[in-house]
Amino acid sequence: MAVNHHVSLSTLDVVRDAPVIPVIVLHDAGHAVPLAQALVAGGIRMLEITLRTPQALDAMRAIAQEVPQAVVGAGTVRGGADAEAALRAGARFVVSPGFTPTLARSCRELDLPLLPGVATAGEIMAAQDEGLGVLKFFPAMQAGGAALLKAWQGPFGDVLFCPTGGVQADNAQALLELGNVACVGGSWLAPARALAAGDWQAITNLARQAKALRRPHFE
């Protein structure tokens, strides 16, 4: 079902839409709209634009205004001010590298779905204390990868994860086979070389391949 800009979104909606959420770093806001169009053409609509460059908010604004099929999210959100700025730029969800109760409450006040990063059992418990049960596992491969996700299935069987950090086309499928993984996040869908060359067809092809990845527990 298409998500439009007038329908309330949940974090679960975000992670279940497709097997991969692209983690996008843009140094040229002019790339934002054609990139979003290329990803949407390949079936990927949830787009995480990271707040790692000065162009990020302009890029979000452009996509929100000109590519209605896309659902813009903000990544690298570290506090309430980041979340507010992202919301004003058109973001409909936010992703953070870590978890703090303050950020969780700020996003709740803004009615912005939050996908917060966790890497330890204590952080998962703190997020659950704030009512959050869909979490980003970051940095996934550096922090323990599939082995840690499997270990968490016992004590945290009610939590869903989006592993991000070191996830690539060649290891994404193995993560998606796990019962507690809803999707993965990765930067390989928007490679710098394709962006610089304006090779939007290459990006659409990468998106199609990502969309075709299997999620046996969620299809």
pLDDT of residue 5: 44
Return the number of other C-beta atoms located less than 10 Å from residue 54's C-beta.
10
Cα-based torsion angle of the residue sequence 99, 100, 102, 105 in order, rounded to the nearest 10 degrees: 40
**Which distant-in-sequence residues (6+ apart) come within 8 Å of 30 by Cβ?**
none
> Consecutive 10-residue runs of the chain (219 residues): their mean pLDDT?
56 97 97 98 98 98 98 98 98 98 98 98 98 98 98 98 98 98 98 97 98 92
pTM: 0.96
Task: With H, G, I as helix, E, B as strand and everything else as coil, classify residue 114.
Answer: strand
Question: What amino acid positions are annotated as catalytic residues?
Answer: 48, 136
CA-CA-CA-CA torsion sign (156, 80, 64, 139): negative
User: Where along the chain do its domains lie?
Assistant: 11-132+184-210
Task: Select from 92, 127, 104, 68 the least CA-distant residue to 14.
Answer: 92
User: Is-contact 64 89, C-beta < 8 A?
Assistant: yes
Rounded to 10°, the helix 80-88/101-110 angle is 30
Domain 11-132+184-210 has CATH 3.20.20.70: yes
pLDDT of residue 109: 97
Angle at 90 between CA 85 and CA 92, to 5 degrees: 95
